[in-house]
Structure 1
Amino acid sequence: MKAVIYHNPMCGTSRKTLDILREEGADPEVIEYMKTPPSREELKALYERAGITPRDGLRAKEPLAEELGLTRDDVTDDEVLDAMMEHPILINRPLVATDKGVVLARPQDKVRDIL
């Protein structure tokens, strides 16, 4: 099975998710999104396939999210996506896509839903 993981090797959950993909026989394409972020359109499409909003995909624990006002109740999806394009650290990870769907694999075992 082919899989694409938007990965941050510094993140334990991301590393564990990658291990699960390999253990389950997936052939993961690893995209280190901090070095090669997805385009705005790609990210929006991934979130749509996952059934989540950009706000759901925001790494709200990142101090920059609060500094930029992205934790406000009235923040729009466009504002969140714009910030993610400028600051990829705001993209929560790992985001995994297969032919069966897309998940934000938090916790990492959630990736099994699309294998």
Structure 2
Amino acid sequence: MSVLFINYPKCSTCINARKWLEEHNIEFISRHIVEDNPKKDELKKYVALSGLPVKKFFNTSGVLYREMKLKDRLATATEDEMFDILSSNGMLVKRPLVITEKGVLIGFKKDKWEEFFK
């Protein structure tokens, strides 16, 4: 299984997720979410593969999210507008993201990851 690990190297959650992948001998390709932010078309694929609404892909605890007052903006934004916003800056995307042909993981929850990689 091909695994793409999209992360922010300074993020403690991403560090723990990376460690978990390595401890479980899961090979992955690492991608820096700020230096190589997911593009709009990629995000659309990830959202479709995840089966989740696009709003779940926002890093709602991030400083930039609050500075941009996105909670209010997203309430009336179209899905296309949400993809435009998400693809504008990697810091707006919830992380880490794990992308495989089997599905998408958002954030790091050990029990969900263990079930996903069984």
8 Å CA contact 2:3, 2:98 repeated in 1: yes
Separation of aligned partners in 2, 1:5 and 1:40 = 17
* Letter aligned with residue 58 of structure 1: F
* Residue aligning to 2:97: 95
* Residue aligning to 1:110: 112
Matched residue count = 115
Separation of aligned partners in 2, 1:109 and 1:9 = 22
Separation of aligned partners in 2, 1:87 and 1:64 = 9
Residues 1:23 and 2:6 aligned together: no
The gaps in structure 2 that reach 5 residues or longer are none
Structure with greater strand share of residues: 1
Structure with greater helix share of residues: 2
Separation of aligned partners in 1, 2:84 and 2:116 = 28
TM, length-normalised to structure 2: 0.84
Identity %: 25
Residues 1:9 and 2:9 aligned together: yes
What is the root-mean-square deviation of aligned Cα atoms in Å?
1.8
Separation of aligned partners in 2, 1:2 and 1:23 = 17
The 1:21–1:10 alpha-carbon spacing in structure 2 relative to 1, beyond 3 Å, is same
TM, length-normalised to structure 1: 0.86
Q: For residue 55 of structure 1, give the secondary structure of its aligned residue in structure 2.
A: helix
8 Å CA contact 1:58, 1:80 repeated in 2: no
Pairwise CA distance, 1:19? 1.2
2:84 is aligned, of 82, 85, 89, to 82
Pairwise CA distance, 1:109? 4.2
Pairwise CA distance, 1:62? 2.0
Separation of aligned partners in 2, 1:46 and 1:113 = 19
8 Å CA contact 1:5, 1:29 repeated in 2: yes
**Structure 1 outlier segments of 4+, above 6 Å:** none
